[in-house]
């Protein structure tokens, strides 16, 4: 992609009401546009990063047998009434509206009840089980506070997977596979070394649910870490977990963290509550064993932005960068332009996403944007670099640049 064609603009200013660092940087670097508090639009750069995160997640979900679907944003009241979760006293973040007929509808904040209701039409017998389906879907939540940028949106992208099973054992086995897949995802996103499987509230069948918490000062949660035993507990269940897991409270380290994922084993509770059953081998109607597994896709993007950014701007790991190479020509000398054009095609031919800053602006402006946008690799071509026999290469995370033949850069990044 050529910079002169890219729909976005970097900027030195941010909306006065934006206090979160991830949103400030993402707005300045031209990744997102703020519509209102907690509501952000994604421009091409932001969307490319989201798509990279999604494809890492998608591959892992497909790998454990998940099938992608797309559920609806409008939901009927009846589906949520059976579990009492239509009530505002039970779920306090609903956006609701009415059809012209006067009928109530809700805007999707979760799909747990709707998916079970839908599965009723497709899964009748133990022979149809297990089933695991997932989606990337915008969730709408009327959050009280939205001061964490894209880490807490009133509208945000979630990957949610749901599975139903004939037996407790089968659900537990799948639950463990999801847990392992999630850890693999966070590794690939570059945050694996600071992400902990955490005991949290909300388990139905098991006493606890498992959250995936990433150590991050901009997070809104508190984590208690037993580094020796490698056990993490969310503050909200601390006393319970200390007793249950036999932890020494005085040994726990309190850290700020962000919840980047949450998985639930509901046992048969939810299906039983909703009266959703399958016919088992013994011809008996039994409720499904049900699990629900979420990753906050946009939140994880915000966490990565927060964790790696420096005073010059964003810093993306290669795996999620919108482009891997920021290509800069200095001057418009014919030879320089021809060589830059060549580099542009060579890199792309090797499967490397390149953003060529072909604007007629000062080199300093191009370098500042390369840094602000957080593109992991910078390649500069000028008369001087050509005289020295190559291109100037610099990693975003390094202060040092070096002159190399183009072929060497292509080989290293391919
Ligand atoms: P929180 O405690 O942060 O409000 P939650 O426990 O209500 O989150 P879940 O229902 O478990 O959220 O949703 C699954 C995942 O979606 C969370 O682990 C988190 O990563 C993400 N998420 C939840 N709420 C938001 C939000 N308002 N903005 C962005 N991501 C969110
Ligand atoms: Mg949660």
Mean pLDDT of 162-170: 98
155 and 28 share one domain:
yes
Q: Mind listing the pLDDT tens digit for each residue in 363-372?
A: 999 999 999 9
270 and 337 share one domain:
no
Calculate how far, in angstroms, residue 280's C-alpha sits from the geometric centre of ligand 1.
35
220 close to 186: Cβ distance less than 8 angstroms: no
Residue nearest to atom 24 of ligand 1 (CA): 152
Q: Is 299 in the pocket of ligand 1 (CB under 6 A)?
A: yes
Residue 82: predicted pLDDT? 94
The answer as to whether 314 is a domain residue is no
Mean pLDDT of 147-155: 98
Calculate how far, in angstroms, residue 163's C-alpha sits from the geometric centre of ligand 2.
17
Residue 138: enclosing H or E segment and its boundaries? strand 131-140
254 and 351 share one domain:
no
Q: List the shell of residues around ion ligand 2, using CB closer than 5 Å.
A: 262
Mean pLDDT of 377-385: 98
The answer as to whether 369 is a domain residue is yes
The answer as to whether 315 is a domain residue is no
- What mean pLDDT value characterizes the chain? 97
172 and 112 share one domain:
yes
User: What percentage of the chain carries pLDDT values higher than 90?
Assistant: 97
Residue 116: give the domain boundaries: 8-308
CB-based contacts of 396: which residues, under 8 Å, 6+ apart?
A: 315, 316, 370, 371, 374, 375, 376, 377, 378
Q: Mind listing the pLDDT tens digit for each residue in 216-257?
A: 999 999 999 999 988 999 999 999 999 999 999 999 999 999
Number of domains in the chain: 2
Residue nearest to atom 18 of ligand 1 (CA): 261
284 and 348 share one domain:
no
The answer as to whether 2 is a domain residue is no
Please state, in angstroms and rounded to a whole number, the distance separating the CA atoms of residues 360 and 357.
9
The answer as to whether 363 is a domain residue is yes
Residue nearest to atom 26 of ligand 1 (CA): 152
Residue 203: predicted pLDDT? 72
Confidence of residue 207 (pLDDT cuts 50, 70, 90): confident
225 and 337 share one domain:
no
Ligand 1 atom closest to residue 209's alpha carbon, by position in its atom list: 11
Q: Is 112 in the pocket of ligand 1 (CB under 6 A)?
A: no
Mean pLDDT of 285-302: 98
Instruction: Please give the span between the terminal C-alpha atoms of the chain, in angstroms, as a whole number.
Output: 18
Q: Is 139 in the pocket of ligand 1 (CB under 6 A)?
A: no
Residue nearest to atom 8 of ligand 1 (CA): 259
Strands (E) in 141-288, as ranges, are 155-165, 195-200, 209-215, 221-226, 231-234, 253-265, 277-279, 285-287
Domain's final residue, options 279, 308, 337: 308
Domain's final residue, options 275, 308, 341: 308
Helix intervals (H) in 238-282? 238-245, 269-274
Calculate how far, in angstroms, residue 151's C-alpha sits from the geometric centre of ligand 2.
13
Q: Mind listing the pLDDT tens digit for each residue in 392-405?
A: 999 999 999 999 99
58 and 134 share one domain:
yes
Q: Mind listing the pLDDT tens digit for each residue in 28-86?
A: 999 999 999 999 999 999 999 999 999 999 999 999 999 999 999 999 999 999 999 99
The answer as to whether 337 is a domain residue is yes
Domain's final residue, options 308, 340, 370: 308
Calculate how far, in angstroms, residue 148's C-alpha sits from the geometric centre of ligand 1.
12
- Closest among 70, 17, 54, 58 to 39, alpha carbons compared: 17
The answer as to whether 317 is a domain residue is no
331 and 296 share one domain:
no
Residue 118 belongs to domain with CATH number: 3.30.930.10
> CB count, 10 Å around CB of 227?
10
Mean pLDDT of 337-350: 98
Q: Is 202 in the pocket of ligand 1 (CB under 6 A)?
A: no
Q: Helix, strand, coil % (nearest 5) of the chain?
A: 35, 30, 35
Q: Is 141 in the pocket of ligand 1 (CB under 6 A)?
A: yes
Residue 377 belongs to domain with CATH number: 3.40.50.800
298 and 329 share one domain:
no
Residue 399: predicted pLDDT? 94
Q: Is 158 in the pocket of ligand 1 (CB under 6 A)?
A: yes
The answer as to whether 67 is a domain residue is yes
Residue nearest to atom 21 of ligand 1 (CA): 296
281 and 337 share one domain:
no
108 and 164 share one domain:
yes
Q: Is 298 in the pocket of ligand 1 (CB under 6 A)?
A: yes
pLDDT surpasses 80 at 146: yes
Calculate how far, in angstroms, residue 310's C-alpha sits from the geometric centre of ligand 1.
26
pLDDT surpasses 80 at 206: no
Mean pLDDT of 136-148: 97
173 and 41 share one domain:
yes
Residue 387: predicted pLDDT? 97
pLDDT surpasses 90 at 204: no
């Amino acid at each position: 992609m050529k910079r002169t064609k890219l729909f976005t603009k970097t900027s030195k200013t941010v909306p006065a009401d934006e206090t979160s660092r991830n949103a400030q940087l993402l707005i300045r670097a031209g990744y997102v546009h703020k519509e209102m508090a907690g509501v952000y639009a994604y421009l091409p750069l932001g969307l490319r990063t989201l798509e990279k995160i999604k494809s890492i997640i998608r591959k892992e979900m497909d790998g454990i047998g998940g099938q992608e679907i797309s559920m609806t944003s409008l939901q009927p009241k009846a589906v949520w009434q059976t579990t009492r979760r239509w009530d505002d006293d039970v779920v306090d973040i609903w956006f609701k509206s009415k059809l012209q007929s006067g009928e109530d509808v809700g805007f999707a904040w979760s799909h747990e009840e709707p998916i079970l209701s839908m599965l009723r039409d497709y899964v009748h017998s133990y022979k149809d089980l297990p089933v695991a389906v997932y989606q990337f879907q915008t969730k709408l939540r009327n959050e009280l506070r939205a001061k964490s940028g894209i880490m807490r949106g009133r509208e945000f992208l979630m990957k949610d997977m749901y599975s139903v099973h004939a037996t407790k054992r089968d659900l537990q086995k799948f639950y463990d596979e999801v847990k392992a897949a999630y850890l693999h995802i966070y590794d690939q996103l570059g945050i694996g070394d600071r992400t902990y499987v955490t005991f949290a509230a909300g388990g139905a069948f098991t006493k606890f649910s498992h959250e995936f918490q990433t150590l991050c000062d901009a997070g809104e949660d508190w984590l208690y870490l037993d580094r020796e035993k490698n056990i993490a507990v969310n503050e909200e269940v601390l006393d319970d977990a200390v007793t249950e897991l036999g932890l020494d409270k005085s040994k726990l380290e309190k850290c700020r963290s962000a919840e980047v994922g949450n998985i639930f084993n509901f046992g048969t509770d939810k299906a039983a509550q909703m009266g959703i059953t399958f016919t088992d081998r013994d011809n008996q109607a039994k409720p499904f064993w049900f699990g629900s597994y979420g990753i906050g896709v946009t939140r994880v993007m915000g966490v990565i932005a927060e964790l790696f950014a420096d005073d010059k701007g964003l810093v993306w790991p290669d795996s999620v960068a919108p482009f891997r190479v920021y290509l800069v020509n200095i001057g418009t000398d014919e030879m320089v332009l021809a060589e830059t054009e060549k580099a542009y095609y060579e890199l792309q031919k090797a499967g490397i996403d390149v953003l060529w800053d072909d604007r007629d602006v000062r080199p300093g402006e191009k370098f500042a944007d390369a840094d602000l946008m957080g593109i992991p690799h910078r390649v500069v071509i000028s008369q001087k670099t050509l005289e020295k026999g190559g291109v100037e290469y610099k990693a975003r995370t390094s202060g040092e640049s070096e002159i190399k033949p183009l072929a060497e850069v292509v080989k290293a990044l391919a």
